[in-house]
């Protein structure tokens, strides 16, 4: 099997002495065209992987910023089919690896096997189903792997060793470490137990890159996360800036600062 685009991203980042920069956008917020513009700007800013979220009406893992983002995208008429069209444009116009970030329900409505095939055809390289724990992952993972999509699972500070191992065994591309308890959102600093959580994740997944997300909102916290992990995920802070300013350029400037903060050694 050929190396996945996501695996290649992490290998290149490691060779360049940095953690991979992984921003998040909600597809269709505030419009489909704006999502594509933002993705292009993030690509120019040095992003490696884009998590593209499917807006959902009951986003239980998301804080207020991403809840508002999903509401705007749904109000703009964003369906799963429109997410595919947005992804096709991003794939054609950027070098970003693409991860589909979704709750399970929209994919079940489509049919998992069909959704996986359509996601792959649209240009996605992987999928993260945020509300499927490792214990239930074996029921959904094969459909995505059959479509040549990497499957990314979540672990958290409260995950036991066996649960982390289960998530690692189902994951490819990378393992996603949630930095803190609770929902997504903007926080001032990283939790003090993050290093221990990442260390446990590495023991569970010695062959996989580890990415850290939830609450990373500044170059300072991105720099700290980059020294622990192989990838740094930033979502709410970027979405909030887009919401506040409506400026692609402002988001791009902030993204450049985050990308630079992910460097762990001089080039």
CB contact at 8 A, 103 and 130? yes
Point out which residues pair with 127 in neighbouring strands: 100, 151
CB contact at 8 A, 233 and 213? yes
CA dihedral 87, 92, 93, 95 (to 10 degrees): 90
- Report the distance separating Cα 126 and Cα 101, nearest Å: 9
- 193 annotated active-site: no
Residue 90 vs residues 101, 108, 261: alpha-carbon distances, Å: 15, 24, 24
- 51 annotated active-site: yes
Point out which residues pair with 67 in neighbouring strands: none
| Catalytic one of 29, 41, 43, 51 | 51
| Catalytic one of 29, 43, 48, 62 | 62
Q: Which residues are the active-site residues? A: 51, 62
């Amino acid at each position: 099997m050929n190396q996945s685009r996501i695996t290649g991203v992490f290998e290149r980042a490691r060779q360049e002495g940095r953690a991979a920069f992984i921003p998040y956008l909600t597809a269709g917020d505030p419009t489909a065209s704006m999502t594509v513009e933002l993705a292009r700007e993030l690509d120019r800013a040095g992003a490696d992987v884009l998590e593209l979220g499917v807006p959902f009406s009951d986003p239980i893992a998301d804080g207020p910023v991403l809840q508002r983002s999903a509401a705007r995208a749904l109000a703009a008429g964003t369906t799963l089919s429109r997410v595919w069209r947005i992804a096709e444009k991003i794939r054609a116009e950027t070098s970003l690896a693409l991860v589909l970030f979704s709750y399970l329900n929209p994919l079940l409505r489509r049919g998992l096997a069909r959704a996986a095939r359509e996601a792959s055809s649209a240009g996605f390289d992987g999928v993260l189903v945020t509300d499927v724990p490792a214990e239930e992952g074996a029921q959904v993972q094969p459909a995505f792997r059959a479509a040549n999509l990497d499957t990314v699972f979540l672990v958290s500070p409260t995950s036991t060793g066996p649960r982390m191992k289960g998530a690692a065994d189902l994951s490819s591309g990378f393992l996603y470490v949630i930095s803190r308890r609770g929902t997504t959102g903007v926080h001032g600093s990283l939790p003090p137990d993050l290093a221990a959580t990442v260390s446990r994740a590495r023991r569970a997944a010695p062959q996989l890159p580890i990415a850290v997300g939830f609450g990373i909102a500044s170059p300072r916290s991105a720099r700290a996360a980059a020294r622990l992990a192989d990838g740094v995920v930033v979502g709410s802070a970027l979405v909030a800036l887009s919401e506040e300013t409506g400026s692609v350029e402002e988001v791009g400037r902030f993204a450049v600062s985050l990308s630079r903060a992910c460097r762990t050694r001089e080039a």
